[in-house]
Structure 1
Amino acid sequence: MPHSVSPKADSHNDTNNAAEAIMADAPIPNDNSQQNADNDVAMTEANAADVPATDGEEKKEVKLEDLFADAADAESDEEFPSSRPVKDYFSSSPEAPDLPSEAPAPAASSNPELLRIFYQRFFPWRYLFQWLNHSPVTTNTNDFVHREFAFTLQFEAQAKEVYQRYQSYTGADTLRKDVVRLLPTRFEIGPVYSTNPRERKMLRNTSAFKPLAKELCFDIDLTDYDDIRTCCDKANICNLCWQFMTMAIKVLDVALREDFGFKHILWVYSGRRGAHAWVCDKKARSMDDQKRRAIAGYLEVIRGGAQSGKKVNLWRPLHPHLSRSLEILAPHFQTDVLEAQDPWSSSERAEHLLSLLPNKALNDSLRKKWDSSPGRSSTSKWADIDSLAKSGASKNLDTKALLEAKQDVVLEYTYPRLDIEVSKKLNHLLKSPFVVHPGTGRVCVPIDTRKLEDFDPLSVPTVQGLADEIDSFSNIKNEDHEGGVAGEEKGKNLQDWEKTSLKPYVDYFRNFVVALMRDEKEPKVKREREEGESMEF
C-alpha cells in the first residue's frame, strides 16, 4: 500500500500552508537579506573547510612494480619508483573468494504522494539555490535567474513522458513551487544563458540567446563496465562492482585538482548505477566548448565499445597523469579486479587477456597451461604471465613491450570509463543533486570524498525510508511529551531533513556551497580593497 504521511506529522508542519508562500529554508528577500546571508556564511565557515581531494588511503599495500614484476626489471624500476615496502602478491595462487549475493535494490518509487512529501519537506532548496547562484541573494548575480531547468513529466493516463526544457525561476521558492506542483520524475540543470530562458522567443535576434556558463561535468555509469565486471550487469549493482566507481572518482578527482587546479568538485551518486562530477570553480564554469573538449580528451583513456578489442593505446613514456593513475589503481587492480571480479575465469575472457599481450609464443604457453588447469583464478593467471616469461617460454620476448602491455591491461580494467559527451558541451544538461531516482527511490546524494571507501550506494536514503523516519521522529517526540518531557521543544527548530538520515548529506552539501560562495566573494573584496588603496596619495 502507498505510504501515507500526515502533513501534520509534527509541529514543524503546522506552518505547512504558509510554507507554500515562503518556504522554511529559502532565503527570504528583505533589506537585511545580504547581511543575514553573510552572517550565516560566516557562522558556517568554521565547519565548511573545502572538501578535500579523494582519500588516498589504500585498501591493501600493493607495490606498483609487483603488478609488472619480472617483465622488465630495469624499465620497471625507472618507470615506477616507489618508497613503499616490497610485497609480493603474485608468489602464490590463491583462489578468488566466493562473491556475495547482490543486495536487493529498494522498491521502485515514483508515488506522487511520496514525491510531494519529499520535495515539500526534505529537499534542500536553499542550498541548491545558493550553489547555482554563487551568492545568497539574486541581486548580486543572474546565475540562477538565467539558469535553465528541465523536467521529465510522467503522464500515466496517456502512458507517455514529456520533457520540458527552458524553465527558469526567480528564486528557490518559485522553483520549489513548480516542482511540488508538477512532480517531475526527475529534473535537470542546464547552463546560465545570456537572457532568461523563458523569454528566448521574445528576442528579435534569436542568435543572441546563447549559453554563457555551466559547471564542467563528468558522468560515469557502471553499464560501461559490463565487459569487465562479473558480479552484475545492466542496471544492477552491488558493493563489489561499485569499487569501479571508487577507482574512477579517485583518479578523476586528483587529476582535476592537481593537473588543472580546480578546487570545488562535487561528486553526486546518480541514484542507481553511477556518479556525476560537478566542477564548480568559476574558471571551469566559464570555459567554452573547445576547452571542455580538451579536458575531456585529456582524461579519456578507454576508447571503443564492449565488442571492440584493445581499448588502451598510449604513447610512451607514459604521461605523468597516467603514471600517477597507475599508482592509485594498483591496489584496486589486485583486490577489486583480480580477486573480487576474477575477470579471466572463463576461457573466453582469458582469450581477451591473451589478445592484449604482444608475444605469440608466450601466449601459446599461457593458453596451454590454463587449459590444463581448469578453474585457475585470475590472480594466478596474471602471475603466470611473468613466471612463464622468466622461464624462457619465448626466446624472442621483448620484455619492455610486455611491461607496457601489462600496464595497458591494468588501465583497461581500472581506469575511469567516461560518458565523454556529457563533458564536451556547455549546453548539456545533467540531473540535479538530491532528486529521487524514479526506478530505485534512492536520493541522489553527494559523495563525501573524505570517506569515499565507506560510501555504500545501496544504503543511501530512499524517499520511502525518509517518510518512515519522519513519522518515527514525530512518534518519539509525542511519547516524550506525554511522559512529561518538553517534547514540543525537541526538534522545534529543526528542518525535516535534519531529523532523518539525509542530514549528513545535506550538511556536506551546505559546507561545500559555503566554501564555494566564500571563494566567489573573496576576489571581489580583494579587488575593491586594491582599488581603494590605489586612490590614496
Structure 2
Amino acid sequence: MNLDPNLMLFTYYKNFFPVKEISEWLELDEFREISFCSSEGKYMRYLTFADFEEFHEKLTTLVPAKIDIGAIYDVIPAKDIQKKAVKRELVFDIDLTDYERVCCKDKSVCDKCVVLIKVAVEILDYALRKELGFTNLGFVFSGRRGLHCWVNDKETKEFTEVERQEIISYFNTCCDKRIFSPEYTEIMFKYSDYMKNQNFIDISEPFTEEDLYKKMFIRLDKDVTTSHAHLIKMPFCIHPIPVNFRFLSVPTSNDFTLEMCR
C-alpha cells in the first residue's frame, strides 16, 4: 500500500519528525536560515522561525519535500538585504560519485561500494576525535549515495572559512604529500577486499599503501565544509529520491509512516 506522497509527508512531519529536538540542537531563531524545497523542485530560501512551534506549523502547512539548513546571520536574513553569516555547523560530506568505482556509475550504489562509506566513517571518527580533539560527532545519511558527518562541539560553529579550509587541507595532505598514517592504513586494510572486487589489482599480487590511498581514502566535498553559504540537508528530513533513510535498506518513508500509524 502506498500513501499519497503529500499525505505521507504531512503525517510524518505532524507526528514523527523530531521538530523540538532539531530546533533546540540548531538553536533555531529568526536569525537562522531554513530552506524548503517543494515536490516540484521549487526552493523557498531565507525562511526563519522564532521557535519550534512556528517551524512545525509551517512544516505541516507547506509540507516540503526537502528541508535544508543555512547559516546563522547577523541580521534576520532575506534575499535582497546585506547580511553576513556568522555561524554555521562544521559538516563533512562524503559522496560516492567522487570515488572511482567499477561496480556502479553515477548515482547507483551497491553493497560493494558502500564499503567506501564505512572507510570514510571510521577515518573521520578517528581523525576528528583522536587527532583534532573533537568529541561530539553525528553521522547521518545525506540522501541518494552519501553521508554527512556533523561536528557538534559548540565552538566549531564559529570557525571561519579559513579555519575550515585548514581541516580539509589536513586530510588532503595525506595523499598530496604521501603522508600515510598507520591508523588510516589499518582502517582501509580491513576493507581491502574492495580493491579486488573492483578489479583494481590482480588478485594474486600484493598492493601498496599508495594503492589504498588512491582508491579508498576519504574524499570530501570542500564547499560543504568551508562555505558558510552552503545549504545542508537537515537530518531526519525525507529524502525525495529514493525516500530511503539509509543505504540499500528498508523502510522507505512510506513504509515507516504506515508502520508507525498502525
TM-score (ref. length: structure 2) = 0.91
1:221 Cα shift? 0.7
Structure (1/2) with the larger helix percentage:
1
Alpha-carbon RMSD across the aligned residues, in angstroms, is: 2.2
CA distance in 1, matches of 2:119, 2:110: 15
Q: Does 1:169 align with 2:49?
A: yes
Q: In the comparison of the two structures, how many residue pairs are matched?
A: 262
Cα distance between partner residues in 2 of 1:459 and 1:267: 17
Q: Which has the higher strand share?
A: 2
The answer for the alignment partner of 1:216 in structure 2 is: 90
> What SS does the aligned partner of 2:45 have?
strand
State the Cα distance separating 1:3 from its structure 2 match: 2.1
Out of 173, 182, 191, the position equivalent to 2:62 is: 182
Deviations 1:123-154 (A, max 9, x none): 11111012112xxxxxxxxx533211111124
State the partner residue of 1:464: 254
CA-CA distance at 1:257 after TM superposition? 1.1
Q: Does 1:113 align with 2:7?
A: yes
Find the partner of 2:138 among 266, 269, 276.
266
Whole-Å separation in 2 of the counterparts to 1:215 and 1:470: 31
How many Å separate the matches in 1 of 2:86 and 2:47?
A: 16
Q: What residue number does 1:245 align with?
A: 117
Q: Residues 439, 243 of structure 1: CA spacing in aligned structure 2 closer, same or farther, 3 A cutoff? A: same
Report what 2:29 is aligned to: 144
Distance (Å, rounded) in 2 between the aligned partners of 1:301 and 1:249: 18
> Identity of counterpart residues, as a percentage?
30
How far apart, CA to CA, are the structure 1 residues paired with 2:2 and 2:132?
Answer: 48
Residues 301 and 469 from structure 1, CA distance in 2 versus in 1: closer, same or farther, beyond 3 angstroms? farther
Q: Whose Rg is larger?
A: 1
Q: Which runs of 5+ in 2 are unaligned?
A: none
2:150 corresponds to: 278
The answer (yes or no) to whether the contact 2:2–2:254 under 8 Å persists in 1 is no
Residue 125 of structure 1 aligns with an amino acid whose one-letter code is V
Equivalent residue number for residue 517 of structure 1: none
1:3 is matched with which residue?
3
Q: TM-score, structure 1 length as denominator? A: 0.46
1:439 equivalent in alignment to 2:229: no
Query: What is the correspondence of 1:40-51 to structure 2 with a 5 Å cutoff?
Result: none
Q: Is the 8 A contact 1:300 1:420 kept in 2?
A: no
TM-aligned CA deviation for residue 457 of structure 1:
1.7
The CA distance in 2 between the partners of 1:423 and 1:436, in whole Å, is: 22
Instruction: Show structure 1 runs of 5+ residues with no match.
Output: 5-110, 134-142, 156-160, 303-311, 345-377, 386-405, 444-455, 474-537
Partner of 1:195: 75
SS in 2 for 1:295: helix
**Alignment match, 2:24:** 130
Residue in 2 aligned with 1:415? 217
Distance in 2 of aligned mates of 1:3 and 1:199? 35
- Aligned pairs for 1:445-460 within 5 A: 457-460=247-250
Corresponding residue for residue 337 of structure 1: 195
The superposition leaves residues 480-509 of structure 1 with CA deviations (integer Å, 9 ceiling, x where unpaired) of xxxxxxxxxxxxxxxxxxxxxxxxxxxxxx
Q: Distance in 2 between matches of 1:461 and 1:214?
A: 31
Alignment-mate amino acid for residue 341 of structure 1: Q
